[in-house]
Amino acid sequence: MKVVVIGGGFAGLNLSKKLAGNIQIEVTLVDKNNYHFFPPLLYQVATAFIEPSNISYPFRRMFQHRHNLRYYMGSLVKINMETNTIATDSGTLDYDYLVLAMGAESNYFGMENVKNNALPMKTIDDAINLRNHILLNLEKLVKSNDPLEREIRRNIVIAGGGPTGVEVSGMIAEMGKYILEKDYPELKGRRDTIFLVDAGHALLGPMSGKSQQEALKVLTRLGVQVKLGTAVKDFTNDKVLLSTGETINSNTLIWASGVIAREAPGLPPESIAQRGRRIIVDEYNKVAGTSNIFAIGDQCVQTTDKNYPNGHPQLAQVAIQQGKLVAENLTRLSKGEVMRPFSYYNKGTMAIISKFKAVVDLPKGFFKGFIAWLVWLFIHIIPIAGFRNKAKLAFNWFWSFITNDPTLRLIIRPRKGKNR
Ligand SMILES: Cc1cc2nc3c(=O)[nH]c(=O)nc-3n(C[C@H](O)[C@H](O)[C@H](O)COP(=O)(O)OP(=O)(O)OC[C@H]3O[C@@H](n4cnc5c(N)ncnc54)[C@H](O)[C@@H]3O)c2cc1C
């Protein structure tokens, strides 16, 4: 049986790994990048705290000695349901079963200027781009005598008060506190001004009230200006326009607000939900209106789980659990057995706010502070692919936390041009 999986994130990779060694099933994992990466730590790459290679790992290395797993580099162009094939930008593949696991991308809610000028944080490329932007801004700032330019380069606006927005705000504020004056003596006494803007009425929207209050308290203490009930409306000519009518002079708008599922051209229109463009699936993650196509993770919406009638949150654990169950169901199908429906087991949610401070919501409880921070570190090191990566990450963390001065603030810009 030929299974093609498009997307090697949490969902697609866990599905593929679960099928490793099952010689009845030949798996081809298609991904536009030749590596798997760990999005929850992207903000630490973006703030030069850890290296990109600490949180990414090549598929081909993972698939060594797993004889029924193949990696194929390519980006989906179209699904041809009549011929059971997919067209990618680098060739065509045929399948008996297709699994869509391409995740989600930033949603700019139709604001073209924001889309063109803001800095998203969804991929490794985005994180490196943001790191370069922040560091280049500082280099230009130290040379400028123009008050307006200085203001534009010192103000940083972060849109979205979910875990990513909170984590990146805390990290940039700490960079300002521990690193700025040491690396840039020219800026002595002047800190970046960080604005965290969210349209809702609390930070960490999906988390408990206690976590929300703790995040607000810690960030405010770090000097972050939190603006709740406020949305970004436009971003052009180094001005961020807010829904309150206020304008912030800044050339840095970090976009951590809202996602939309990646497009999968070729699926029947009735299988795409209006909200968030997510692919509608049944209790087995089978795509509505198809017989041999599944969708898992952030890209799909499943309303059959009784505890989640509006669909699951777009979280790593949902993607991992769906990937594993669909792998088991494909094995069942290959043996002519019936499939098992999906139900999500919530292990809890957490967010880091700053050094030594995190919040953890468990199904039956809440805790915060240093212990929560340690739990966060521990939980985030386990799923990092590869033993060497875990060891390198642990060392980098240890070094950076002890010294308050990681040495990764390098501006490395890839040369533009086409590789053949
Ligand atoms: C900055 C950030 C922080 C986060 N923090 C947390 C957290 O702390 N806790 C938590 O639970 N969740 C967190 N999330 C959400 C979590 O990362 C997602 O829920 C999870 O990654 C979804 O897994 P997925 O496999 O569905 O998609 P993804 O992990 O996004 O994987 C999609 C894969 O598809 C590939 N792909 C995309 N388009 C194509 C294409 N056209 N052709 C081929 N391949 C393609 C991509 O390269 C990628 O490998 C965070 C997300 C981000 C962006």
Q: Pocket of ligand 1, candidates 36, 71, 93, 314: which has the most ligand atoms within 8 Å of its Cβ, to mutate?
A: 314
Q: Do the beta carbons of residue 51 and residue 128 sit within 8 Å?
A: no
Residue 252 Cβ inside 6 Å of ligand 1? The answer reads no
The domain that holds 175 is classified in CATH as 3.50.50.100
The residue among 273, 302, 334 that closes a domain is 334
For residue 312, report the distance from its CA to the centre of ligand 1, in Å.
Answer: 15
Of all protein residues, the one whose alpha carbon is nearest to atom 5 of ligand 1 is 40
Token pair recorded at residue 36 = 């798997």
The residue among 299, 319, 334 that closes a domain is 334
Q: Can you give the pLDDT at residue 182?
A: 86
pLDDT in tens, 113-150: 999 999 999 999 999 999 999 999 999 999 999 999 99
Which stretches within 20-73 are classed as H helix? 42-46, 59-62
Domain that holds residue 81: 2-32+74-106+259-334
The residue among 201, 225, 257 that closes a domain is 257
Please check whether residues 11 and 136 belong to one and the same domain. no
Q: Can you give the pLDDT at residue 320?
A: 96
pLDDT in tens, 392-420: 888 888 888 788 777 777 888 777 766 66
Q: Mean pLDDT of all residues in the chain? A: 93
Please check whether residues 238 and 276 belong to one and the same domain. no
User: Ligand 1 atom closest to Cα of 323?
Assistant: 25
Please check whether residues 7 and 89 belong to one and the same domain. yes
pLDDT in tens, 54-73: 899 999 999 999 999 999 99
Cβ count near 118 (within 10 Å) = 22
Residue 13 binned pLDDT confidence (cut-offs 50, 70, 90): very high
For residue 357, report the distance from its CA to the centre of ligand 1, in Å.
Answer: 25
With residue 182 as reference, give the H or E element that holds it: helix 181-183
The stretch 327-355 carries a mean pLDDT of 94
Q: Do the beta carbons of residue 227 and residue 198 sit within 8 Å?
A: yes
Q: Do the beta carbons of residue 60 and residue 365 sit within 8 Å?
A: no
Residue 392 Cβ inside 6 Å of ligand 1? The answer reads no
Domain-located, residue 69 = no
Predicted confidence (pLDDT) at residue 155 exceeds the cutoff of 90:
yes
Please check whether residues 94 and 210 belong to one and the same domain. no
Q: Can you give the pLDDT at residue 205?
A: 87
Domain-located, residue 197 = yes
Domain-located, residue 67 = no
Please check whether residues 98 and 158 belong to one and the same domain. no
Q: How many CA atoms lie within 13 A of 63 on its CB side?
A: 23
Domain-located, residue 58 = no
Domain-located, residue 141 = yes
Please check whether residues 117 and 155 belong to one and the same domain. yes
pLDDT in tens, 226-272: 999 999 999 999 999 999 999 999 999 999 998 999 999 999 999 99
Please check whether residues 285 and 149 belong to one and the same domain. no
Please check whether residues 153 and 243 belong to one and the same domain. yes
Please check whether residues 274 and 292 belong to one and the same domain. yes
Please check whether residues 134 and 79 belong to one and the same domain. no
pLDDT in tens, 284-300: 999 999 999 999 999 99
Please check whether residues 136 and 192 belong to one and the same domain. yes
Helix (H, G, I), strand (E, B) or coil at 228: strand
Would you mind telling me the total number of residues written for the chain in this entry?
Answer: 420
pLDDT above 90 coverage of the chain, percent: 76
At 247, the amino acid letter reads: T
Cα-flanking dihedrals φ and ψ of residue 267, to 5°?
A: -80, 155
Domain-located, residue 393 = no
Domain-located, residue 120 = yes
Domain-located, residue 228 = yes
Q: How do 357-362 and 365-368 pair as beta strands?
A: antiparallel
For residue 256, report the distance from its CA to the centre of ligand 1, in Å.
Answer: 13
With residue 78 as reference, give the H or E element that holds it: strand 76-80
Please check whether residues 237 and 102 belong to one and the same domain. no
Residue 317 Cβ inside 6 Å of ligand 1? The answer reads yes
Residue 175 Cβ inside 6 Å of ligand 1? The answer reads no
In 3D, which of 305, 293, 310 has the Cα closest to residue 340?
Answer: 305
Residue 31 Cβ inside 6 Å of ligand 1? The answer reads yes
pLDDT in tens, 200-214: 999 998 899 999 999
Q: Can you give the pLDDT at residue 303?
A: 97
Residue 406 Cβ inside 6 Å of ligand 1? The answer reads no
User: Ligand 1 atom closest to Cα of 121?
Assistant: 1
Give me the number of domains the chain comprises. Answer: 2
The domain that holds 11 is classified in CATH as 3.50.50.60
